[in-house]
Structure 1
Amino acid sequence: MNKMSETANRASDNVAELRTKAKDDQIAAFLEMRLLELSPGYAKVAIRLKPKYQNFHGVIFGGIIMALADQAFAYASNSLVYPSVASQFNTHFIAGAEVNDELTAECRVLKSGRRVGISEIAITNQNGKLIAKATGTTIPLAEPSC
């Protein structure tokens, strides 16, 4: 088997493992997030916004939107060859979200290297309106032996 095939197989194994882990993900269950799609370097996660997600101003708490983005980021960045942890995460809030909105976070890994990974996350509502944009940087936990 060549190195490229080994890498593709490892990524496929990671996706399968993450799908299993997602079923027992406690923070996702607590916030009622759902993993919709997962493939190497890509994840899509959704949440229906509830009244309990409002802050004292009566608007959706930004941390809920960030948690959704972070969840997609975690799945996408760990679906490739190197398991990784976040070292940086940045969110730009672009538009407000409302109770009962269905938000979707789509994460795409832009770079996955031996020292750093870079991802971009778009959070949209059920009408396709851009609610927030996030970027994240990861550091691999270990380099797999090939």
Structure 2
Amino acid sequence: MPQSRNAQSLAERVAAAIGEREAVSRFLGISLDEVGPGHATLSMTVSPDMLNGVGTCHGGMSYTLADTAFGYACSSGNRIGVAVSCTITYPAAAKLGDRLTARCREVHCKGRSGTYDCTVTSQTGEVVALFRGQCRFIQGHIVEGNE
């Protein structure tokens, strides 16, 4: 099997294993839309329970979506990547009923460190959050094989 197909298959196996363990994603209704080597796309719909005191989506909800996409992306190669630093900016507010999509991609990866950018958009394409996460790869693997 060519290397790219192996990497894609591994990313899918890793994502399936993470998804089985991700209780927060199930609780918030986060779905995995796409995964591959060094990238992931996840989405969720803003529900009434996700609103803040002024009636817009709580920043912690869009952060959680972006952080979850970051986790899938940085662990897609079957290395356990844990966050060491994350920043987020909110250019626009998401609203009740918005379908948010987080697209995360690897920007740089060397040795035990990786940097990933994630853009969260609404169903209209409006950017509601810009997230950058830096991870550290620790010992162990998500799934057995293809390490």
TM-score with structure 1 length normalisation? 0.87
Verify: 1:113 aligned to 2:110, yes or no: yes
Match of 2:120 among 123, 132, 140: 123
Q: Deviations over 1:41-67 (max 9, x none)?
A: 110000000111111222211000000
Contact 1:42 1:107 in 2 (8 A): yes
C-alpha distance in structure 1 between counterparts of 2:33 and 2:137, whole Å: 25
Gap change, CA 1:117 and 1:11, over 3 Å in 2: farther
| Aligned residues with identical type, % of pairs | 28
Verify: 1:141 aligned to 2:138, yes or no: yes
- Per-residue deviation at 1:71? 0.6
Contact 1:12 1:40 in 2 (8 A): no
Instruction: Indicate the SS of the match to 1:140.
Output: strand
- Per-residue deviation at 1:38? 0.5
TM-score with structure 2 length normalisation? 0.86
Letter of the 2:102 counterpart: A
Verify: 1:56 aligned to 2:53, yes or no: yes
Match of 2:99 among 99, 102, 105: 102
Q: Give structure 1 stretches of 5+ with no counterpart.
A: none
Computed over aligned residues only, the root mean square deviation of the Cα atoms, in angstroms, reads 2.4
Q: Deviations over 1:70-121 (max 9, x none)?
A: 0100000000253211100100000011100000000001112212100000
Match of 1:47 among 40, 44, 48: 44
